[in-house]
Structure 1
């Protein structure tokens, strides 16, 4: 096989590989640092509910709630959903204010394989609250870098 054929064969093979193969496991500190900086994370107020086993990563239901009085003095400002193995770690971001009655999100997400899902909530006093859940996905999604 000449050099040109080998090069074309290698390029064709490279295009055929799924991008999810390149999505590597990211350690928690490295994943969360761009969003929360060096702030300490607290546990307790955020509740993340997601199936521990998902047959299909294209449509995984999850529910997040945050215990907060939602007053002017004390309320949730922001809620982030992250994953450590998707090609793009930020799944969703939500903004809240004191006029919000409660923080309750119910949605479906795409997951690129078995991984940890993170729910982060920032309260008006600047404290970040965290809950995590391990999800085992039998059929991966996120094949097109989304």
Structure 2
């Protein structure tokens, strides 16, 4: 295929304009960017984190939140977790590790129209409860699983 000089210049200018727009942020999806809220991820105890995130709202234990996480983690640095739920209208899902220096491991803001499904990898300092809290409107639903972190995968 033969490209003449005029085509080459037109394509070069188009590519350059798109590159400048992308580099300056004009083509980014603002709603897809993650937000870091430092006070939510500050070192504290679980009760302080819950109060900071949800004020004094009451947590309702439910079996409609499904947590798929290993009961025994051979490596506390990489513990896979998957959370699904049959609750309607979930606005956000928070994952907390009770005995970590920073209890809030992850927080996902969701559109209420979406089917709630999140997956992550947690870092756990020691054997602890993993708590998942789903917010629907003014209600907070929670579920928890205990994960035993072994040293070197020995089970002890």
Looking at CA atoms only, which structure, 1 or 2, has the larger radius of gyration? 2
Q: TM-score, normalised by structure 1?
A: 0.66
Aligned length: 109
Within 5 Å, which residues of 2 pair with 1:65-144?
65-69=84-88, 75-100=89-114, 102-124=115-137, 126-139=138-151
SS at match of 1:76: coil
Distance in 2, matches of 1:117 and 1:105, equals 15
Are the aligned partners of 1:61 and 1:108 in contact in 2 as well (CA < 8 Å)? yes
Structure 2: segments with no counterpart, 5+ residues: 1-42
Q: Which residue, 51, 56, 61 being the options, matches 1:38?
A: 56
Distance in 1, matches of 2:65 and 2:47, equals 18
Q: TM-score, normalised by structure 2?
A: 0.62
Between 1 and 2, higher relative CO (CA 8 Å, sep ≥ 6) is seen in 1
CA RMSD of aligned residues (A): 2.1
Are the aligned partners of 1:63 and 1:106 in contact in 2 as well (CA < 8 Å)? yes
Distance in 1, matches of 2:128 and 2:93, equals 19
Distance in 2, matches of 1:57 and 1:93, equals 20
Are the aligned partners of 1:113 and 1:139 in contact in 2 as well (CA < 8 Å)? no
Distance in 2, matches of 1:92 and 1:127, equals 19
Normalized per residue, the structure richer in strand is 1
